[in-house]
Structures are given as structure tokens and as C-alpha cells.
Amino acid sequence: MSTVGNPANIFWHENPVRKVEREKLLNQQGCVVWITGLSGSGKSTLACSLGRELQSRGKLSYVLDGDNLRHGLNKNLGFSPESRTENIRRTGKCIHKLSIGEVANLFADAGLICIASLISPYRKDRDACRALLPDKKFIEVFMNMPLQLCEDRDPKGLYKLAREGKIKGFTGIDDPYEPPLNCEIELQLKDGVVPTPHEMAGQVVSYMENEGFLEA
């Protein structure tokens, strides 16, 4: 009987260059900034702004955007609860040493700041991703924007299609979004006004500075 694929026959090969050495070289700590919120809340915009701000400070990051992942890694998934869970599993588990096929492991393990931008509506899935990372290297950022604001924006026309019944299982309309209970950062309206992407990115960067992520 073939034993190909049997975990008992697979061994982890330690890299002589340790993660802490890579972090020292980059002068930063490998971690994951997980941006969650409704469609249209500004997740991707914040991710790009944050990446640019980190770049201007000489910090190396990489953005994993939910829509982009669905063009490649998760292109065979829909939007059912099961598919959403698998979408998060593939994205979240990539951040830890689990298997060669789980790509995002390379980013955090390489000492990069991995910025993951996904609706990720279910609390248990986000918490499962958090549990994979050691030493509090998971920074959950909640884009707490009102549904009405997101629906008014509707940059991709998806809310309109969901309201017309042409999209089923759409978060915020006929599928729930479970807000974080203990996120590190919550971004919301200030006096009824949406903060600029630069302001929000600055808030995330300030947190990372205070927690020591931007130095080895």
C-alpha cells in the first residue's frame, strides 16, 4: 500500500537561518494585520494605504486581498458558509507552518508584515486564525462602518444585486456579519465622518509602533 502523503513520512526541515534573524535583518517583526468588515467598508483601501505607509517607513509588507485571493488560491470557492470558512482557512492557515501549499506562511515566517483584507464574517474563523499565530502576532482591525454607508457606496454594485435577490448569502443582507469582541483596533465614523485612509493607516501604524512590531 502506498504511503505517499502519509504525515508519518513527512519531516519538517529546519532552516539554519531563524525567523528572529530575518526579523533582525528587516528590523521589524513578522505578523498579520487582519482587516475585517462589511463589503464597501474600506478594507482594501486601508490595506493599500497601510502598505504604502509602511513602505515609506522602510518596512516590508504584503497585502493579501480577499477579492484577489478568489482569482487564484480560492477561485473554486463560492459564498456559502462552508466556502467562506474554507476561504478563511486557506488564507489564515497560510500564516503558520502547516504545509507547503499554504502560501501566506512564507510572509510572516519571512519576517514580513502580512496585511490580510477580507470580509471574514464569522467570528470563529477569525479566532481560529488568531490561534495559529504565536506571541500575539495577530492584529485584528475592525472596519466598523454602518451598513447603510457601505450600501450607499456599493462600489461593485453587489448590494444592489443582493437586494434584488440575484446574489444569495451576501454578508449584511441575508447572511450575518459577526463583529469582533476583542479586536486590537476598531475604526469607525468620527462625528459622522469617515476618517481618511491616511488617518486610519496612521492609527494602525501607531499601534504597531507602540507594540514594538516595527523594530526587531
Report the catalytic residues: 120
CA atoms of 42 and 117, how far apart (whole Å):
10
How does 76-104 read in b/e, with b if 16+ C-beta sit within 10 Å? ebebeeeebbbbbbbbbbbbbeeeeebbb
C-alpha 123/C-alpha 178 separation (Å) is 6
Strands 31-37 and 113-117: parallel
User: Between the CA atoms of 52, 131, 106 and 85, what dihedral angle is there, to the nearest 10 degrees?
Assistant: -90
The greatest distance separating any two alpha carbons of the chain, rounded to the nearest whole angstrom, comes to: 67
Cβ contact 34:116 at 8 Å:
yes
